[in-house]
């Protein structure tokens, strides 16, 4: 299963709706994501450039992208950003493969 770091910001309308009806939105969206085979591994509200930070696990990039496209399409979350996460073991495998890659940097 692939893992992703997802960040985003709530719109003022989204904040107003949550003030009016306080709920754990991370828990709610987690249940909705499960229908697509995606699981929230961890989630937080944050202060700073983003309001929402979650780590999700899903079957593949297309599933994760389709779910996040749907979230973005509602307009409730802006500045949605997704970063693919690589387990340390997979990173070591990538380093081993890089050793055999015959790349030559451009010269001046």
Domains delineated in the chain: 2-99 (3.30.70.920)
What does the alpha-carbon distance between residue 49 and residue 54 come to, in Å, rounded to a whole number? 14
Reduce the DSSP state of residue 20 to 3 states and report it.
helix
Share of the chain above pLDDT 70, in %: 100
Task: Please say whether the beta carbons of 80 and 72 come within 8 A.
Answer: yes
The CB density around residue 88, as the number of other CB atoms within 10 Å, is 7
Reduce the DSSP state of residue 55 to 3 states and report it.
strand
53-76 pLDDT, tens digit per residue, is 999 999 999 999 999 999 999 999
- In the prediction, which pLDDT does 107 show? 87
Residue 108's pLDDT band (cuts 50, 70, 90): confident
Task: Please say whether the beta carbons of 68 and 78 come within 8 A.
Answer: no
Average pLDDT value over all residues in the chain: 94
| DSSP category for residue 103 | -
Whether the predicted pLDDT of 28 surpasses 90: yes
What does the alpha-carbon distance between residue 4 and residue 57 come to, in Å, rounded to a whole number? 6
């Amino acid at each position: 299963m692939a893992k992703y770091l997802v960040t985003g910001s709530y719109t003022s309308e989204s904040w107003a709706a949550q003030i009016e009806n306080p709920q754990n939105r991370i828990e709610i969206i987690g249940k909705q994501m499960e229908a697509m085979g995606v699981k929230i591994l961890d989630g937080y509200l944050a202060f700073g450039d983003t309001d929402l930070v979650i780590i999700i696990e899903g079957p593949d990039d297309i599933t994760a992208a389709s779910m996040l496209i749907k979230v973005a399409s509602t307009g409730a979350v802006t500045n949605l950003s997704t970063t693919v996460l690589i387990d340390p073991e997979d990173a070591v495998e990538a380093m081993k493969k890089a050793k055999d890659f015959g790349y030559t940097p451009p010269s001046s």
